Structure 1
């Protein structure tokens, strides 16, 4: 509360008093929003040939945004916002929202490979819960309609008017899950003034094929429609291998049937060597060669398409109705965690005394010393089908009032299969999400807007939102544990009322007040988690490998084979009031100063429920993995100014955020019971009696879940500086520079979760033991994940106008980031307070530190009347950047940037 009070005082001190130098100047009238909207419509309809030559102009054109839910000039909008048109998105290779990451100050987008889930981070904050129980920290809106599932941002981006990225709490106007920012994707609308179209083809390396098309047609004076589509297919960019030596061969038997037997004394990787016992235990000591996979259908390939059909109807001069249907389909192999070969390279190999006896690299694990390779025994699959229906009714009641009704529906179907351990150990494991997994949601919102030249303008509204998810999938460790999830009805229901008004104290000074009341309920009805393992008869024991591989691949889909389950019926409700206080001041017609103090809120959540009875003691076990809401209060002070007679735009913002109960998700043991099962030795081998039969006894068994904790407190501050400059005729330079400082400011004592087996030299059972104080750690003082202290981003381009011959425009983009941490654990900060068995000097080979990096994109574009031809390249320096992950089995692994890609893009307008 003290921090919140301090923020309020700072904001009030900035607002009052206004310095005399800022006294109102009646001659510098602020353009009305109606005038801004008229100019935006005029700019939108300008001749296409003029648009292509815009780089030769000597001033920077105005950009219209809807960051305040109404159309305003970007440079007169008192919010930190970045906006990109479709031409810029195409140039920078933006195919989905995740490709925006480097283009926006203090934003990062990673992908969790299990369900190909994008995780958006902004100003150091993200949501790590990728399941149906989690909500993003950055809201995504498509034509004003909220898209709840994080996989929705994978939908291909094409034929858009612009994409707006808002930073800072947006809860007052945009609502749920916008605690740290919001992304608005505004699709291109049908036009009444012309028939036009566009066709684009783009071949590239890795056998990439891309096609885009758009056609716009006015049917009558009151109705027009627009059709747009995009198709993309590409081979995998990693070297893939099928492993015939892993325990479970059911999924790849036909792919490795002809694998050659190799000499077990030479020419094999550690992967093959570590699995020798599997064959030996079954009377077959042979080790077989890895089999190269077909890149066209291996992990990290691409096979997707999308199309949109939209219509606009002008019922009267004052009433307009927009309706669009969009479909997206991804039918690829998905992703798999890769080993960070660069981080591993040069790690000392030590003997039992700690003496260095050699150096290691990825070639001791895989065929090559390279990050971009995978050795698996489960073919990847990622199927995602999303259908959207969006509508907007706008009624200009009079010159002062506008009524808006928005409605939208989204339906997702999803399936996936992923190899989990990548041959790094003999335990094997895979994750599957089966048909029946998906979600559907709808949203209705009404608004009444009063924006004109009056002294007081406002927007008030109300909305309702409903989402229902279903999850059917399982984790299979063929040597032991199985878990199947059947969650047919997890639902969220939310409603909100909101209002925000701006009062003009004079022609220059404006005060803004906003308030939103939101209410949300989450409920699980009929959810079940089925649990089993080989020792209780669910599957053959580890010594019965041949019996396992005779079973069908869908054997674990059947709920009836599991001896027990947990009922996950659960419910939680939360309500909250968000508010916003702001002031903006026009120093002159070219310079805006603004500040605001605002709050953000993300509802708490429900989780899996564990109800069990300890079979030995009879003790009842009941654990519900619910978590508390997340709240933030943010102060932002900013400026926007035009300089050099309109040839330079500068935007800057300082922000300070106080977070309470930040949500953090991870896998861990939430409770413990006991089971009667086969006893194992320190090497995890089953102990046999004198007759060669397994020895049974009571063992402690964890109840493991993917659950969310709350980080008690964190503080974030930073500065964002954006620039756009026309330094000479035909030239343009634009980009940003940022500074960011994040810290967990309150005691957060939790169990160590970053590869505890390797870091502490203990067994898995010891790593989950609740009484093992060795693993207890206080993360106070740690930095938040993917929060580099500094970032620099610059794009430079120049248009050489060749008269009738056309225009040539080379461009290049340089992006640099300081080092940061990939996780909240900040491993190297804890070498003194935790008893790591890894030598201090060896920590850097497996920790969560991401070193500073630089990427380079570039291309040359040629314009000739209706044609555009471009040669492009992304990540030209072939930088390997890890975006997500941690460590397991003693190696750093996760998701990574694509290697160098290049190609040709040809577009024709008609």
Structure 2
């Protein structure tokens, strides 16, 4: 076993590398996975010291005056985290829903997130890798492997990190090349659903000043959704087929300068997920189009640091991302309905430049200033094919058999400057102030939603093959009817014209007080404001009956940008204000660690997204701004070293998250939605429902997790480590309408329970690790979701179906994992 002294010496080496690279690292005086022997007394044990960069300076997590949860790679492995959604249950107030069409995690912190995974808006929880911002939610699906650390910051982050985020920030820090020693490791996992996963890394110091690191990961498994009788042959939905490779280099020619550069490729060729009526391992769906997904992300990231002799550090952080996706997703539910959709061609390109200047960490007045630039360009062709579907309840044929959503040029440009300082008033009292000014510009040029009365394809080609006769989005005035009333036989028409170019600017800030109540206990209080840029949505229609001219198009574009008239094709930014009181302390001779955060957050114009079907059969994501929302909460995190060989970890979150003002329409049932929520009726506004007082989505009132692990030493010196974790959540709502049970006979539909709700649940995971007394390998057996609990993660795409359907968390999975390391 590795003794504490040697581990601590290695930790100081890793801290030095992390500070040179501007990265974060978790450091332990005694690592969870490298415990001391069972013969040691409990008095010699101490909580590991975890280093983070949540303030863009290297600090211990106990000394960081923020609500932040951090993991090193060992802790991620203990919790079986391969992707971001695996962190659910390990972080207070973190809940993750899964999008089916794009296999994308939708992240919520403290009840704040977004169900819009498209290029029209931003996630409320920002995602960064090595300081590089990922604007698309799809980037969060990347494999989490060979990391120095993962940090989850809760609450608005309006000063330091990338673009503003109202819900929080996820920072991943990849493991950096080491200049002074060789190391390598590998890991192999086998499990049910034919799971096969491999991870490997090698670190090579080439010279005294140059080192490279190569890491790769593959994770594959079969789908969890069985094919109902009569389904088409193909891969089951819920299959995993992920692969990633990363090459990184660190050059440090002297003590003043270092340059980090990395390239990463990630591919997802799984099927995506599909809603089903039941969850757990008992899932079945009628499938006419098996899932198909081909998603590729190429990322280039770099950081240069120059340390002046005066103690000032100048840093440049740059990034470039290029991604593309093709996909097919089943939308049918029975043999008498046939529908599917997906990305024909969806591309994304983004560039980031950031300059940062800061003084030394030991200064009495610490200061930092920076400039951040980000630009993204997106081009999207997303099709939905739904032939032979009755329209308006079966009375007429559907005039729209093929919907194609063309956004050839949707983008964003963001510029911001920021500054933050901390002044040490005394040895135990500090005050911090921060400001950020942001200018955002969005645009949609030539975006069109096009409806067609026929599916243009070659009959001999399968539906997920290349199309024949795709429409030319640049030929709108000649090749397409301007609306559905002016079509010629067999002609397609433009349903909406989406051109718009809004811009916004905002100044956000932070003020914080810190007090070291004792050498091991810190108290803090903070006031922070957050801002999330506005989002684009579908624009206006041509309602005329004459020839469509350029003047008509110009008039629609003008209306799409006319906020005063209420015809604008965009939704206003959301803003929030948060007050937080926190405690971070170590007790019982540093064998008990307790973090607590008490907060209240008020939102203005909270962005809400829902799926609607228009009278022309178009399937749209519509956005609106809820008037106001308030979230009050308490979060606790605790770690206790029990005796000489036990460790108990726990988290708890209480959320009172409700809309204060929200007049809207029910996205699925319109004004009839009052049947689910009678108190939402407003006699003065008969066409609107009042959702004031309803719960925010993905915000359970109470949630907690508790894990315990114990080290046993065998007679031959080997150790075994059993671990069990339980997590609990009270009921969760999936729609602002808070629909509970569908009444009997409503719209001639049968009674259905919990249309938008997951009832309270408890889930258990367990594992057992064996490590020999000599040799650098370990063997683990594990089972996740031990009781095969059926847990909804979101409502299905059509909750107005006769039988409601849902997205679900993973069923019971089990397997074995072998790790081996070389140095």
Structure 2 length normalisation: TM-score? 0.85
| TM-superposition CA deviations, 1:728-783 (whole Å, max 9, x none) | 1111111211111011111x22222235699799xxxxxxxxx9987631111101
2:501 counterpart residue number: 571
Residue ranges of structure 1 left out of the alignment (5+ in a row):
1-33, 245-251, 253-292, 343-369, 541-545, 673-700, 762-770
Structure 1 residues 730 and 341, CA gap change in structure 2 (3 angstroms): closer
Q: Is the 8 A contact 2:158 2:164 kept in 1?
A: yes
Out of 564, 577, 597, the residue aligned to residue 653 of structure 1 is: 597
Out of 692, 713, 716, the residue aligned to residue 801 of structure 1 is: 713
Out of 636, 647, 651, the residue aligned to residue 732 of structure 1 is: 647
Give, in angstroms, the shift of residue 51 of structure 1: 6.2
The answer to whether residue 467 in structure 2 is matched with residue 554 in structure 1 is: yes
Q: Is the 8 A contact 1:650 1:722 kept in 2?
A: yes
The answer to whether residue 269 in structure 2 is matched with residue 328 in structure 1 is: no
The answer to whether residue 427 in structure 2 is matched with residue 507 in structure 1 is: yes
Give the structure with the higher percent helix: 1
Give, in angstroms, the shift of residue 485 of structure 1: 1.7
2:325 counterpart residue number: 414
Give, in angstroms, the shift of residue 821 of structure 1: 1.0
Q: Is the 8 A contact 1:339 1:891 kept in 2?
A: yes
Q: Is the 8 A contact 1:340 1:891 kept in 2?
A: no
SS at match of 2:589: helix
2:288 counterpart residue number: 377
Give, in angstroms, the shift of residue 384 of structure 1: 1.0
The answer to whether residue 667 in structure 2 is matched with residue 753 in structure 1 is: yes
1:27 counterpart residue number: none
* Aligned mates of 1:135, 1:38 — CA distance in 2: 35
Write the mapping of 1:323-402 to structure 2, written as runs, cut at 5 A: 323-340=261-278, 371-398=282-309, 400-402=311-313
SS at match of 1:571: coil
Give, in angstroms, the shift of residue 894 of structure 1: 2.4
Q: Is the 8 A contact 2:28 2:49 kept in 1?
A: no
Please say which of residues 559-568 and 149-158 is displaced more in the overlay: 559-568
* Aligned mates of 2:126, 2:620 — CA distance in 1: 26
* Aligned mates of 1:584, 1:341 — CA distance in 2: 47
SS at match of 1:90: helix
The answer to whether residue 249 in structure 2 is matched with residue 311 in structure 1 is: yes
Please say which of residues 447-456 and 639-648 is displaced more in the overlay: 447-456
Q: Is the 8 A contact 1:625 1:708 kept in 2?
A: no
Out of 776, 784, 787, the residue aligned to residue 877 of structure 1 is: 787
Give the number of the structure whose alpha-carbon radius of gyration is greater. Answer: 1
Q: Is the 8 A contact 1:400 1:450 kept in 2?
A: yes
Out of 574, 593, 611, the residue aligned to residue 630 of structure 1 is: 574
Structure 1 residues 552 and 787, CA gap change in structure 2 (3 angstroms): closer
1:139 counterpart residue number: 126
Please say which of residues 393-402 and 87-96 is displaced more in the overlay: 393-402
* Aligned mates of 2:89, 2:659 — CA distance in 1: 25
* Aligned mates of 1:816, 1:373 — CA distance in 2: 26
SS at match of 1:236: coil
Give, in angstroms, the shift of residue 802 of structure 1: 3.2
Out of 11, 16, 34, the residue aligned to residue 52 of structure 1 is: 34
Residue ranges of structure 2 left out of the alignment (5+ in a row):
1-11, 39-43, 389-397, 473-478, 480-489, 560-566, 676-682
Out of 509, 521, 525, the residue aligned to residue 445 of structure 2 is: 525
SS at match of 1:174: coil
SS at match of 2:502: strand
SS at match of 1:89: helix
Write the mapping of 1:109-148 to structure 2, written as runs, cut at 5 A: 109-148=96-135
1:783 counterpart residue number: 695
Write the mapping of 1:5-84 to structure 2, written as runs, cut at 5 A: 52-53=34-35, 58-84=45-71
2:184 counterpart residue number: 197
Structure 1 residues 304 and 497, CA gap change in structure 2 (3 angstroms): same
Give, in angstroms, the shift of residue 400 of structure 1: 2.7
Out of 171, 181, 204, the residue aligned to residue 168 of structure 2 is: 181
Q: Is the 8 A contact 2:741 2:751 kept in 1?
A: no
Q: Is the 8 A contact 2:28 2:48 kept in 1?
A: no
| TM-superposition CA deviations, 1:705-748 (whole Å, max 9, x none) | 322110010000100010011011111111211111011111x2
SS at match of 1:609: coil
Give, in angstroms, the shift of residue 892 of structure 1: 2.1
2:153 counterpart residue number: 166
Q: Is the 8 A contact 2:696 2:733 kept in 1?
A: yes
1:708 counterpart residue number: 623
SS at match of 1:376: coil
* Aligned mates of 1:374, 1:888 — CA distance in 2: 17
Structure 1 residues 36 and 514, CA gap change in structure 2 (3 angstroms): farther
SS at match of 1:121: strand
Q: Is the 8 A contact 1:726 1:733 kept in 2?
A: yes
2:734 counterpart residue number: 822
| TM-superposition CA deviations, 1:219-260 (whole Å, max 9, x none) | 10000111111111111122124636xxxxxxx5xxxxxxxx
Give, in angstroms, the shift of residue 843 of structure 1: 5.9
CA RMSD in angstroms, aligned pairs only: 3.3
Please say which of residues 81-90 and 475-484 is displaced more in the overlay: 475-484
* Aligned mates of 1:569, 1:617 — CA distance in 2: 20
Write the mapping of 1:424-463 to structure 2, written as runs, cut at 5 A: 426-434=336-344, 436-463=345-372
SS at match of 1:151: helix
